[in-house]
Structure 1
Amino acid sequence: MKEAKELEAVIRRDYDNMAGIVVRKDGKLLYEQYFHGCTDSSRIHVYSVTKSIVSILIGIAIDKGYIRNVQQKVLEFFPDYTVKRRETTIQHITLEHLLTMTAPYKYRSAPYTNFFSSDDWVKAALDLLGGKGQIGQFRYAPLIGPDIMTGILVKATGQSVLDFAAENLFTPLGIAAPPNVVFDSKEEQLAFNRAKCVNGWVADPKGVNTAGWGLTLSPMEMAKIGQLCLNGGTWQGKQIVSPKWIETSTKEHSRWEEQGLPYGYLWWVDEDGYAAMGDGGNVIFIHTKKKMVAAITSFFKPKVKDRIEFIKAYISAAE
């Protein structure tokens, strides 16, 4: 990678909303730096990076037998849910369709106001699932839809998502589990998104944690998660999630044709590895060919420069 001073000059010039960066190579810390007053303990809202963490949790739940497999129908987990009259598509949607973003939804423009003002985000998402769209066609659902997966985790494990994650992922990695964050107003939600240092995992009024966004992490914590995946699901000799799940979830299952982006099970797949990516430039990039993990937290800013290109150009190119 480039010399630290040169790298940091590039960051300040072209990636000025970056809050922190951690790079691990061959299992060891290669580089660590923070900006804008952040430190190694500063947690940032990492937006859609949350999805990839949920993918790991789904894999752990399958490993432990709480979920049979990804071919289970979504409605199997919600036997009390009443399907709306004339709605048949939803009955054929599987967990795998949710994981690969190939489930159809009934809306064209996401009804965020109605969704977030409801007291049960999982049910609100189920009400929007299905419709006349084609099952198997890629449709990226950033916020509305993924919460069905955390709803599934709650139904399957009998635990809150946060408790399940703390027991089976965070604590084994030495990550302090964040507290639940429940919003009482739109203003509180906006303040959470704008915060420069915040700790928590957003949950709906019923206590079900979000799946598509809402988790806060530090770059070091993200790097640990990336290293876990690079190690085939092991951390310090302990198997946290099966290597089979890591291999399966991080290979291409669907593709966003318009963007030319292959997708796994809530991971973006790259020719050199795979990545968790969130708005503003939050990313965990696992460079499998070079045994490298790069984790970056960033404050939200629209239309930022591509972090994967940055990592490849300035960090992994010289390794």
Structure 2
Amino acid sequence: MLNRRAFSAALLSTVAAPAAIRAQAQTISDFRSQAMGLSQLHAIMVQRGNDILVAEAPRGPGLDRAANIKSCSKSIVALLTGAAISQGAIAGVNATLGSVAPGIIPQDATAGVADLTIEDLVTLRAGLEGTSGGNYGSWVNSGDWVAFALRRPMIARPGQRMIYSTGSTHVLGAALATATGESLLEQARTVLGGPLGIEIPAWTRDPQGFYMGGNEMALTPRAMLRIAVLMRDSGRFEGRQVIPSDWMRASVQPRTRSPYSGLSYGYGWFLSDSGFVIARGYGGQIIAAHPEHALAVAITSDPNVPARSDGHFGQLMDLLEGAALALT
């Protein structure tokens, strides 16, 4: 038999449970309302633990059709880098471009590029003038994207400050393809596609046939969410270690800082002070994970409209740092 104290505790728990459920439902409703108010947002998915709390696509192609993830591609290439190192195709992050893929370096390359390390490239600290922003058009219209990037003037010491450049990640992708003997598409499908059960369609290639490293990959929001879960769970997915745990730990160590958003940057992933690990793409494409709070988030937005830190991207960060964390 229950004594009076135990009976009272049991009674209170039955009263509190519905209240907690109602509070959680209200928190989810508040999150959804805030997200739906963002005019550039196409789709958003949030998973806590094994439960998908939010799956909405008020605009755009929906949750099951591939969307251009833009520069979130850089974070995918970073994961493939870790896999290539674990497989022995590349000796390590200190391996130089000249030792990994000497054949992709043009004869008239900027002095010192052969000594760039894999770490310099994956952290966007190659020191070379960027090919993004105002230089992007001339870069993608050139006859050799790798050579163009490696002929940029050296404007900083390699390994020092972040210079945001899709060209640096494209060089890294070409080096991965050369070292492994597999295209980035093949690597992505083998390393991530199969283990995560996601489809990775072919994307843009350069004039030499290298798949673009750092832009133009396409994934469905559901596939993006699975990558977010992979990041949240230290490289594991459904009990399988997909990306080596030592690479995952190294990836989330701050190596530099974005001069634009102020976010720290590890091996291809942005890092917020609150603990979010973030892939960010033009227009407001986001793959985000918060290991401490068991959160995984996938967001797609209009890929044709900028999402600056003081605009849509800032609003998305407010959503993550505020309403998303409140879900836990």
1:186 aligned residue: none
What amino acid maps onto 2:88 in structure 1? G
RMSD over aligned Cα, in angstroms? 2.2
Cα separation, 1, equivalents of 2:211 and 2:172: 10
Aligned counterpart in structure 1 of residue 46 of structure 2, from 4, 17, 23 = 23
Distance 1:70 1:216, change over 3 A: same
Distance 1:317 1:140, change over 3 A: farther
2:198 aligned residue: 175
1:312 aligned residue: 321
1:152 aligned residue: 175
Aligned counterpart in structure 2 of residue 11 of structure 1, from 4, 17, 35 = 35
SS of 1:51 mapped into structure 2: helix
1:234 aligned residue: 236
Question: Within 5 Å, which residues of 2 pair with 1:1-319?
Answer: 2-3=26-27, 5-13=29-37, 15-36=38-59, 38-80=61-103, 81-84=105-108, 87-106=110-129, 110-128=134-152, 131-179=154-202, 201-256=203-258, 259-271=261-273, 272-300=275-303, 301-302=305-306, 303=308, 304-306=312-314, 307-319=316-328
Cα separation, 2, equivalents of 1:160 and 1:267: 22
Aligned-pair CA distance for 1:114: 3.0
5+ residue gaps, structure 2? 1-23
User: 1:208-245 CA deviation, whole Å, 9 max, x = no partner?
Assistant: 11122111112211110011122221222222110111
Aligned-pair CA distance for 1:258: 6.3
TM-score relative to the length of structure 1: 0.85
5+ residue gaps, structure 1? 180-200
Between the two proteins, the alignment pairs up a number of residues equal to 295
1:183 aligned residue: none
Cα separation, 2, equivalents of 1:273 and 1:9: 22
Does the 8 Å CA contact 1:46/1:298 hold for their aligned counterparts? no
What amino acid maps onto 2:193 in structure 1? F
After TM superposition, where is structure 1 displaced by more than 6 Å over at least 4 residues in a row? none
Deviates more, 1:112-121 or 1:96-105: 112-121
Larger radius of gyration: 2
Distance 1:34 1:159, change over 3 A: same
Which structure has more relative contact order (CA 8 Å, sep 6+)? It is 1
Does the 8 Å CA contact 2:35/2:319 hold for their aligned counterparts? no
User: 1:7-35 CA deviation, whole Å, 9 max, x = no partner?
Assistant: 3432333x111111111111332221111
Cα separation, 1, equivalents of 2:136 and 2:313: 26
Does the 8 Å CA contact 2:28/2:53 hold for their aligned counterparts? no
Cα separation, 2, equivalents of 1:258 and 1:9: 28
Cα separation, 2, equivalents of 1:305 and 1:150: 26
State the percentage of identical aligned residues: 26
Cα separation, 1, equivalents of 2:215 and 2:284: 14
Does the 8 Å CA contact 1:48/1:212 hold for their aligned counterparts? yes
Cα separation, 2, equivalents of 1:170 and 1:231: 17
SS of 1:289 mapped into structure 2: helix
Cα separation, 2, equivalents of 1:244 and 1:177: 25
What amino acid maps onto 2:158 in structure 1? I
